[in-house]
Amino acid sequence: MLFSKRILKLSESPTLQLNNKINGLLQKGEDVINLTVGEPDYVEPIESSYSAIKAICDHFTHYTNSSGIISLRESICAKLLKENNLAYTPDQIVVSAGGKQALFNAFFVLLNGGEEVLIPTPAWPTYKQQVLLCGGTPVLIPLDESSEFKLTKETLKAFITPRSKILVLNSPSNPTGATYSEEELDDLVSIVEENGLYVISDEIYERLVYSGTYSSPVGINDYMKKHSVLVNGFSKAFGMTGWRIGYTAAPLDISIKIAAFQSQTTASISSISQVAAKYAINNFDKEHLIELKEKRNYLIHQLADTPLKIDVEPGGAFYLFPRVDSVLGNSIYGESIDSVEALCASLLEREHVAITPGSFFDAPNNVRISYAKSMQEICDAAQRIKKYFKEGMK
């Protein structure tokens, strides 16, 4: 056999694959509005840009500590203490090449073959693929609008087996925007502790919460602090997707293993990106959150006249996740729409609006719409979508 069994289990990222297709159309001059990718339309803080340029001019361009420069790790610790009331030391922080590497590091050091990882769905498809690559068994927990796409303790208990080891929590969620309150996390943590589970808490959207304050499951009690790996990064809040900066914060024994693993894979990441991140971490622009909320509200209002049914208003992140089951099985412009993939393909062809099939996230009756675009693009996309259904379903 030419390839390893591990790589044969791997599927390419469907969201990035779709985005690559859309970028190809854009490069050909097609007038496509791309609402598929989870990338903000704003850019890094100016302090980050200038600090990165200065670092290059100062020739700060060599290897760094493989876990990240100490000043950045100290800044992350200060952020976690100030904003999340979580106390960590720099030795408990490992800076990685984006949130994906941070997640993979955590799965790799915690999982043995056959151990189960509980993943509430709809969920970012990378979780499942990384668990498979690390030899674990992904256990998908289906959720829907009836629970506001949130895991409850009763549902969690029903999926726990003697092989269960890790629960993945993502709040706010990609793709649903579901955001857990402290009370809801309290309920889940009681079951987590009762069953001796570890938690990987993906907090990449934690600054993008539209009402109230963000609650991290890691801060619920001492058990969680000792049994959780917090994953975060700079892509979503700071518009730094291309800088590739993520990190983990974990108990020291886990962080030591993550650091050792990373030292043998990527080792240190870009020194310039680390400097940029250090200057970004204290410069989150809250205007971004205000603008995203305005776009969310506008798009919800506009889509109310279409078959895209939004029963749950997202509490965070920058996605809508409407149901489209009323369309499935019908025809639009004389074409049979028998799946969300067919619907998305038809909308792209007819109106040049790109949205993401919910099947990518194990939700075959939904679609994901990213509103992290300019308001002009959001307005134009809304009109095209309304036209598509109004004229296509005559």
| Residue where a domain stops, chosen among 280, 311, 342 | 280
| Residue where a domain stops, chosen among 250, 280, 310 | 280
> Do 98 and 245 share a structural domain?
yes
Q: Which residues of the chain have pLDDT under 50?
A: none
> Do 274 and 348 share a structural domain?
no
> Do 163 and 310 share a structural domain?
no
> Do 52 and 198 share a structural domain?
yes
Per residue in 108-167, pLDDT (tens digit) is 999 999 899 999 999 999 999 999 999 999 999 999 999 999 999 999 999 999 999 999
Give the CATH number of the domain where residue 87 resides: 3.40.640.10
Instruction: Tell me which DSSP letter residue 5 carries.
Output: H
pTM of the model: 0.94
How many contiguous H segments (helices) and E segments (strands) does the chain have?
Answer: 15, 14
CA triplet 227, 229, 233: central angle to 5 degrees? Answer: 160
Per the structure block, which two tokens stand in for 125? 């498809």
Q: State how far the Cα of 167 lies from the Cα of 141, in Å rounded to an integer.
A: 10
Domains held by the chain: number: 2
pLDDT at 1: 67
Partners of 349 in beta bridges: none
Q: Which domain, by its residues, includes 328? A: 5-43+285-392
Per the structure block, which two tokens stand in for 223? 């058990």
> Do 367 and 272 share a structural domain?
no
> Do 372 and 265 share a structural domain?
no
Q: State how far the Cα of 104 lies from the Cα of 92, in Å rounded to an integer.
A: 17
> Do 336 and 258 share a structural domain?
no
> Do 329 and 247 share a structural domain?
no
> Do 248 and 162 share a structural domain?
yes
> Do 77 and 199 share a structural domain?
yes
CB 361 within 8 A of CB 140: no
Among candidates 190, 178, 106, 188, which has minimal Cα distance to 146?
178
pLDDT at 223: 97
> Do 308 and 261 share a structural domain?
no
| Residue where a domain stops, chosen among 246, 280, 314 | 280
pLDDT at 20: 84
Among candidates 108, 99, 117, which has minimal Cα distance to 231?
99
pLDDT at 349: 92
> Do 324 and 183 share a structural domain?
no
